[in-house]
Amino acid sequence: MSNTIHPTALVSDKAHIGTGNDIGPFVIIEANVTIGDNNILLSGVVLKSGTKLGNENKIHEHAVIGGLPQDLGFDTATPSYVKIGNRNTFREFVTIHRASQKNKATKLGNENYLMTQVHLGHDCKLENNVIIAPSTGLGGFVTVEDKAFISGGVMVHQFVHIGSLAMLGGNAKITQDVLPFMMADGNPAYISGLNKVGLRRAGFKIDDIKALKKAYQLVFNHESKLEQRLNELSRSGHDSAQHLVSFIQASKRGFHRDKP
């Protein structure tokens, strides 16, 4: 199947484009861009050099993918990339910057949904099925695990790690890691409980949620040292509890705690 390219689109002859793509009016595709199959690029989309786009993505009006990192020390001659998987949706005015490190990439997996005016900074990593609501910004080197939900107006500090199935409330200020399966809200942010709705929607059974509730109570039990609590949590044998332990042990910024 051939591509449909509007006559006003500017497509570099050094771009690599698959088949079945619909490229709309005033789209700009620079050199050294790779596009897979069956993507839809609506009016005014800009794909900058170093962007690699998979299949069946839909990019709405005036999104800019692959812009230079907002890093004052970045050398514009440094080769770096944005790598995007399949079936993602980027709404109007989304911006995603390429990596600041040589031959590295800002990476997005599959079936993520970024709403209007979301910004992903350089070297971010989104896994799969992440939803980010309008006017949210992620600083550089932020990692977001599978099925996290980030509400509108949230600001996430650089190097933060957001766990799977975490939910961040609107306008939250996130300066530390957010544990998997938890809800974070407020400015400054605090953990307000388990993301029970998200867990149920993800297919977690009642016994799984009960096990995570016990894990939550143990993690935020202030009567013993964290190391002791993690050792006890490891002995539970529950996969999600073990994921919590591994996440906390790997945390470099510390993690948001429950409200005092």
Buried-exposed string 129-162: b where 16+ CB fall within 10 A, e elsewhere: bbbbbbbbbbbbbbbbbbbbbbbbbbbbbebbbb
Report the C-alpha gap between 220 and 244 in whole angstroms: 12
Is 62 a catalytic site residue? no
218 φ, ψ to 5°?
Answer: -70, -45
Active-site option among 24, 119, 123, 146: 123
Active-site option among 36, 67, 140, 198: 140
Active-site option among 60, 97, 119, 122: 122
240 φ, ψ to 5°?
Answer: -65, -35
Q: In which element (H, E) is residue 197 found?
A: helix 196-201
Torsion of the alpha carbons at 236, 239, 243 and 245, rounded to the nearest 10: 10
Is 122 a catalytic site residue? yes
How many other CB atoms are there within 10 angstroms of residue 76's CB atom? Answer: 6
Catalytic residue numbers, as ranges: 122-123, 140
